[in-house]
């Protein structure tokens, strides 16, 4: 089993389950594939190599949140592999998020409900 095989499993899973983000996973996966190479054996992707990946990505200026997204896909790949066959999933380290980079400008559930209430009153021509 290679990293390329794992990536194919993730892509297939996203397609089969019609995940909305299936079109955008290529970008974070590209960073992982560029670093490790698609031919890298899955068993060679160890925690210490993932730590080195994190350090290299941070040095290159990548945001911790971006790295977390990339590693979440790696974790998903190993989870899928684990379900497909008896395999060992390595511990996948992830850098802590930067608390100053909290997303802003999102609606609360109550605000969405109130907005939807107003939309129901709109005519179809609007």
| pLDDT tens sequence for the chain (126 residues) | 899 999 999 999 888 888 888 788 989 999 999 999 999 998 899 999 999 999 999 999 999 999 999 999 999 998 888 766 655 666 777 777 777 766 677 777 777 777 777 665 555 554
The whole-model pTM stands at: 0.64
- DSSP for the chain reads -BHHHHHHHHHHHHHHTT-GGGGTTHHHHHHHHHHH-TTSBGGG--HHHHHHHHHHHHHTT--HHHHHHHHHHHHHHHHHHHHHSS--PPP---PPP-GGG----PPPHHHHHHHHHHHTTS-TT-
Strand partners, 41: 2
Has domain 3-95 been given CATH number 3.90.380? no
Residue 107 has, within 13 A of its CA and on its CB side, a CA count of 8
């Amino acid at each position: 089993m290679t990293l390329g095989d794992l990536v194919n499993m993730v892509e297939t899973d996203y397609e089969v389950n019609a995940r909305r983000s299936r079109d955008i996973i290529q970008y974070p996966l590209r960073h992982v594939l560029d670093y490790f190479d698609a031919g890298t054996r899955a068993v060679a992707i160890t925690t210490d190599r993932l730590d080195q990946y994190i350090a290299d990505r941070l040095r290159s200026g990548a945001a911790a949140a971006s790295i977390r997204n990339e590693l979440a896909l790696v974790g998903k790949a190993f989870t899928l592999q684990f379900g497909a066959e008896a395999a060992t999933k390595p511990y996948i380290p992830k850098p802590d998020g930067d608390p100053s980079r909290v997303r802003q400008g999102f609606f609360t559930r109550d605000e969405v409900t109130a907005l939807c209430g107003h939309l129901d009153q709109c005519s179809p021509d609007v």
